[in-house]
Amino acid sequence: MNNEPRPSYPEEPAQAPDSQPSRTESEGGHEQQPTPNPLIYVASLADHEAEHAHGVWLYAAGEPEAVYDDIHRMLGQSSVPGADRFAIHDSEGFGAFRVHDTDSIELVTKVARGIREYGLAYALWAEVNEDSPELLDHFTTAYTGHYESLSAYVSQRVQQQGHESALDQAVPEYMRPFVRIDYEALGEQLFYDGDIMVCAADGGGVWIFDERA
């Protein structure tokens, strides 16, 4: 890990008093995790090849142009003549997404902005779709939320769709205590059919993505 000082982060906008709770809070039942601050350590390759340590930690969730400006400023401060090449040698705050030294600044900043806006579920989505970056923008439609478990997700969806009420109406009253929907089995079937993607979430519970969206 590089020991150069980390940059400070922009202030998060305060949530308006009448704003709606996040999907994590309203659907998952878990306390929302702190928003990560993705960082990258960019090093001068000319310095690296000369066995000099010269680089800088950068706030990654900005626009690519701003990050490039910071990189060029770092290269301009190199003591090695002609230092004009760089690579990402370290990263923090990217969750499940693995930043490679060959990744473009455009890709890294896009993923970082997604993490800042949506949390670490976006990092996992980006890692799963690493070979298909065009799917990154599909996150907002595919991500259904953070839940305590797969069965909790299925139970909520069944209730929202009115199937539980329909079942109660269809079953005679004396039989209702003995008739239940097996939410765990239903969730497993959805998973095995490939309709949903279920991933363990940082801090507990699961993130669920609906591939049919």
- Given this model, what pLDDT does residue 141 score? 94
CB atoms within 10 A of CB 209: 21
CA dihedral sign, ordered 155, 161, 164, 165:
positive
Q: What are the CA-CA distances from residue 50 to residues 43, 53, 77, 80, 211 (Å)? A: 12, 9, 15, 8, 48
Sign of the CA dihedral with 25 first, then 28, 29, and 30 last: negative
- For residue 120, name the pLDDT band (cuts at 50, 70, 90): very high
- Tell me, what amino acid is at 66? A
Q: Return the pLDDT at 127.
A: 96
- φ, ψ of residue 155 to 5 degrees: the values are -60, -45
Q: State pLDDT tens for residues 90-102.
A: 999 999 999 999 9
pLDDT digits (tens, 9 = 90+) for 39-97: 999 999 999 999 999 999 999 999 999 999 999 999 999 999 999 999 999 999 999 99
| CA nearest to 109, candidates 78, 77, 71, 161 | 71
Specify the higher pLDDT residue, 7 or 197: 197
pLDDT at 164 over 80: no
pLDDT of 123 over the 80 cut = yes
Going across the sheet that includes 196-200, the strands are 143-147, 206-210, 196-200
Helix 183-192 with 150-160: angle, nearest 10 deg: 100
Sorting pLDDT into bands at 50, 70 and 90, what band is 147? very high
The pLDDT value given to residue 98: 97
